[in-house]
Structure 1
């Protein structure tokens, strides 16, 4: 008798297993935006674990820094795990409900004729919930939409790592130049102070000039020390993008002078649809739509079917049983959940429209900043810097001929270095603003800092 029961049960379980869904294909990684797409990225669609990368040593380039950050960024690795988790959720959302097996014994261990198992009734049943209304498909759609959002989160983070590394690299080059110029200023201040000290000792200059020279020397030293600290900070900030604690490289190379006229505003706004944040909002909207659809499917009751086998010890008879149950949707038709999902959908649509307006406004402001920085660069290169250079050259000639004092020469040199610093600040501002624009549209613009890698050769 037990062999018959096991055989029937095995056949039922086998039939249910045959109905189970096969592997689910999951496509969560969006097509990368154009900016930095040519650079290797890990983790990514093919791997989660970041590969081992040799530390950057010697003189490094922007392209090397970008590659190191994309390959070893701890933040990017964390987002890759989120995508993998979302893909696993898609697989889980696609499975069927598990069947239920039930074994029951009745009419035993009683009194008189019902004592022991002589009159026992043994039953074994197998039941399965059959989801109706498209619930399984709706769950899969919702999980896939959430996985797409995770994919866009990863892409946004990839662009963020790329642009943040580029910005930190530019800041490092600026800090290197500031340190170099502050060293030159301190060296000249020391030379002037020594020359004035000799003149004071020989009685050719009053002691007041020596005091002024010492003040200028102290200021130059303070500026040099501050530039040294800022340089050390910039180096550490850069290597933190690829998870390093201390920089192993000697210096960063690149040319901030490589500046071209900013693109037209219409050219920038024409690429607004490529904005990764807006693409993410489209995916978020798909999630809200899927949640609304899933709430609607909950209105349909699920069918529960079952079949079983009963054995009666008293008569040694066997009988089959079957049943169907269907909850009646009388009191709970899931109206509240449907209404809530619809309101969230409408809210997300408004937030997406707001995001579009915000991106458009930000790009317009950035374009104004680009034009302003470019005009300032032109004015500095055309007027201020040549004038400061001429003044310094004249002061040097006059100092050699004894027509002006050392303090006048020092003042002219400080003016020249100040002009160079102002030009460097304008160049830095231009490149950082350009990077911000490229981050918003997810694509390189004409004269792109990242795309041209600061004038590096391909």
Structure 2
């Protein structure tokens, strides 16, 4: 048999122990992330919030502009001058200085203001929805980073348990109570556990980097101290009509309805009044001029724009119906997922307790020679899987709370203890 198969596994297990010692003894300098509540307080500086604020300010500015009356038009005309015979030169000229003002009849100004006010209200509701969405993204990034950190800790624990079991197997091999194959299997398991630890570390670092970017933190996050996974969501009861998506759809429908009135008013003549002073050079006299002007609606009666506004209203009405249906379905689904995740968290806690006891007993039995290494490996894997399942259950609870919070128009865990 080749010498490589006859060597004791102590060397490989010792190398794995040394690698673990280096990992645990020289951790990187921790820079804990602020708590989720502190990050929420800084959410007004998020790009999505700043964009929504700017769009809301633009809508408010358009509302102010809608209330401004059109500027008058000043005109200066000269007639009957520099012609022939009696009209040669400027002696018989007539000069008129006039001011023309659009009267905005038929409620043009009020209709324009109503549309701008509705659009400003819609922009404000969109701003609130953008803040809620930004809070949801922040909560998900925070919880994902915390879950990745816990999975890394579990991978470290799994490696430590694997090495401890490998050492116990090595002792039994040296005592002649187990074949050399058991020691080699322990080596393989330790190497696989080390690879899993490296993978968990990469996932943790990636999650920390994403949280750092979303929260716009000045320094990279390397640790999370304030837990979000352990927080219990608040089961608030909010009417479906209060959902932000429904309110935005309602506001869009109102804006579309008011645009119909604007287009109908535009079909009516746009009346302008003018007043001026006319100078008669020949008589050395002046007189007032008064006039009204309006277009004749012979060709353009704005029918196309009216029909387009009516079609847009029907589309907005359909979007509102769809938003109501989606809000009802999404709220019911989110509440069901939240309830199921709460039960899953409770079940995972019970599963961890059973898995810990099973591993403890199997370890005692293995050291006494009454349980095989395969059974010990199975209980060890079951223990780590149970703890990972608990992390997954808590992360699922956070996701369900994010979905429900969006339907309620609030930040996740707002009002929760």
TM-score range, shorter chain: 0.7 to 0.9
Matched, 1:232 2:205: yes
Alignment correspondent of 1:284? 252
Alignment correspondent of 2:356? 389
Deviations 1:66-118 (A, max 9, x none): 222x1321110011000000111111111111111111223344455544434
Alignment correspondent of 1:97? 70
**Pair 335,71 (structure 1): closer, same or farther in 2 beyond 3 Å:** closer
> What SS does structure 1 have at the residue aligned with 2:220?
coil
**Pair 257,322 (structure 1): closer, same or farther in 2 beyond 3 Å:** closer
The 1-side partners of 2:335 and 2:224 are apart by 32
The 2-side partners of 1:128 and 1:65 are apart by 54
Deviations 1:339-376 (A, max 9, x none): 33223223322221121111111222223323332333
Alignment correspondent of 1:62? 36
Q: 1:211 aligns with which of 184, 187, 191?
A: 184
1:403 Cα shift? 4.1
Alignment correspondent of 1:449? 413
Deviations 1:356-399 (A, max 9, x none): 111111222223323332333333333x3222111111123234
**Pair 173,388 (structure 1): closer, same or farther in 2 beyond 3 Å:** same
The 1-side partners of 2:222 and 2:130 are apart by 25
Matched, 1:172 2:145: yes
**Pair 258,87 (structure 1): closer, same or farther in 2 beyond 3 Å:** closer
**Pair 94,257 (structure 1): closer, same or farther in 2 beyond 3 Å:** closer
The 2-side partners of 1:281 and 1:365 are apart by 21
1:147 Cα shift? 0.8
Contact kept? 1:195, 1:406, Cα under 8 Å: no
The 1-side partners of 2:33 and 2:71 are apart by 61
**Pair 315,159 (structure 1): closer, same or farther in 2 beyond 3 Å:** same
Structure 2 gaps of 5+ residues are 1-29
Contact kept? 1:304, 1:325, Cα under 8 Å: yes
Alignment correspondent of 2:387? 420
Contact kept? 1:74, 1:242, Cα under 8 Å: no
The 2-side partners of 1:364 and 1:286 are apart by 27
The 2-side partners of 1:105 and 1:315 are apart by 15
1:439 Cα shift? 1.2
The 2-side partners of 1:257 and 1:413 are apart by 24
Contact kept? 1:149, 1:280, Cα under 8 Å: yes
> What SS does structure 2 have at the residue aligned with 1:311?
strand
The 2-side partners of 1:191 and 1:83 are apart by 61
Q: 1:324 aligns with which of 278, 292, 297?
A: 292
Structure 1 gaps of 5+ residues are 1-55
Alignment correspondent of 1:346? 314
Alignment correspondent of 2:7? none
Alignment correspondent of 2:24? none
The 2-side partners of 1:393 and 1:185 are apart by 14
Alignment correspondent of 2:303? 335
Contact kept? 2:155, 2:200, Cα under 8 Å: yes
Alignment correspondent of 2:334? 366
Q: 1:128 aligns with which of 87, 92, 101?
A: 101
> What SS does structure 2 have at the residue aligned with 1:131?
coil
Deviations 1:316-353 (A, max 9, x none): 22222221123333443333332332232233222211
Q: 1:432 aligns with which of 389, 395, 399?
A: 399
1:250 Cα shift? 3.7
1:205 Cα shift? 4.1
1:189 Cα shift? 2.4
1:171 Cα shift? 1.4
Q: TM-score, normalised by structure 2?
A: 0.84
**Pair 57,201 (structure 1): closer, same or farther in 2 beyond 3 Å:** closer
| Paired residue total | 388
Q: 2:155 aligns with which of 179, 182, 196?
A: 182
* CA RMSD after TM alignment: 2.7
Matched, 1:138 2:102: no
1:402 Cα shift? 4.7
Alignment correspondent of 2:19? none
Contact kept? 1:236, 1:246, Cα under 8 Å: no
**Pair 80,363 (structure 1): closer, same or farther in 2 beyond 3 Å:** same
